[in-house]
A and B are shown apart, each in its own frame.
Chain A
Amino acid sequence: MSTSLFEKLGGNAAVDAAVDIFYRKVLSDDRINSFFEGVDMDKQAAKQKAFLTMAFGGPHNYTGKDMRAAHAPLVARGLNDSHFDAVAENLQATLKELNVPSELIGEVMAIAGSTRNDVLCR
């Protein structure tokens, strides 16, 4: 059996290492951080972790329906492709900072990108 993407990336420990860096980048990014004003940081960090685990090819219970429900109020406030791209950019920068090999970054970005239409409720 070939090694899964999740195992290659380092499993749960890799997600733990990535989540603080990623969430910090997102909160520091003026293009998108207004969407996170007043949000419970612990709950949000847990959501980021669930998302990263999924994007890393790990165990998840992802349903587009949950993603749509969670983002619908943000779409109503103007969430669009430019914001999705900004988050993706932060994810990519996080992986680079963690010295993830570029072909694995590509795989992660492809999974993350597959959520675009759900996130933007299209």
Chain B
Amino acid sequence: MPRIFFEKQSYTCQDNESVLDCLTGHGLPIPSSCRSGICQTCLMRAVEGAVPLAAQQGLKETLRVQNYFLACVCKPTNDLKVALPDEEAGARTKVTVLAKEVLGGNIIRLRLGCTLPLDYHPGQFVQLHRDDGLIRSYSIASLPQREEPLELHIRHLPDGRMSGWIHDILKTGDTLEISGPAGQGFYLPGQPDQGLLLIGTGSGLAPLWGIARDALAQGHTGPIHLYHGSRDVSGLYLINELRELAEQYPNLNYTPCLSGPDVPKGFAAGRAEQMAFSHLPKLTGWRVFLCGHPAMVAATKKKAFLTGASMKDIYADPFVIAADSIKPAA
């Protein structure tokens, strides 16, 4: 009979017993509700071992490829090492600051060298740990297949404890610890002609820059529309790089958007999400990635769904700026 490894203990799974029943039967508090493979409350991840396909039915593609499964309908045929989603990102790795530069828009670009190879998708996020215990999450902008160093975009906030320290003190050659990666907002191949809509504000460009380049590198042929918004030009960055990329790839459309009164030539006047919906009023069949200001992300997620995008195709990453936040606060 297969064994289930969970939190350093092992449990024997009886014939025809689900992972959920096995663990809760041993008194472990695994959250659950419908117990029918529907509500997704009992979402877990197989850290080692293959899960039956039936245990992944109805999950987002990006969850499936990371071996997430529903414990209530998972009847394992082999040993599994499992974890709850919250316990992820436990292990820390040391990284070295390879480069630090200030881009536009108060954005600091950090390039980090990892001592161990980090298995990640562009668009996920890592947590940065400072020696005194301060932790912040930042989205990943680099492409692992190009062997680029890990790239993070950090907005220098006026009172930001981490971002202020990164801006003022951290220097090339310093070491830091990171954990992760985590997050479901990333590109997966398989539907190369699907339309991709990417909308971000501020440093919400970081994951989108990663996702768009990842999609292009993996041969995506469908239209890719990227809208980056800020109040004025000084809040945008990588403008030239994105324009060059759009020149190189005809299926990439880049629209820098300014919501303030001063809109120079070459920029769209209005909020990024407004511009996107005016160009693309129907999103049936589109895959949508949203990143940045929480209110923008929430409102745009709803509107993208109401204009036709399927819930499974909407990846939303609100940047929460809070003292103890574990969400991306870039």
Contacts and interface: CB of A to CB of B under 8 A. Distances in A.
Given A20-B310, A23-B311, A50-B39, A41 B34 contact: no
User: How big is chain B's contact interface, by range?
Assistant: 10 to 19
Contacts of B34: 50, 53, 60-61
B36 interface: yes
Interface in A54-106: 58-61, 66
A49 B310 contact: no
A44 B113 CA distance: 40
Nearest to A20: B310
A111 interface: no
Contacts of B35: 61
Secondary structure at the A interface, as helix, strand, loop or mixed, is helix
Contacts of B311: 19-20, 23, 41-42, 45
A69 B57 CA distance: 28
A28 B307 CA distance: 10
A8 interface: no
Nearest to A15: B38
B58 A12 contact: yes
B24 to A, nearest CB: 14
Contacts of A42: 311
Contacts of A31: none
A69 B274 CA distance: 38
Nearest to A62: B34
B36 A28 contact: no
A24 B305 contact: yes
Interface of A: 12, 15-16, 19-20, 23-24, 27-28, 41-42, 45-47, 49-50, 53, 58-61, 66
Given A28-B306, A53-B36, 7 more contacts: A12-B57, A24-B305, A24-B306, A41-B305, A50-B33, A59-B38, A61-B35
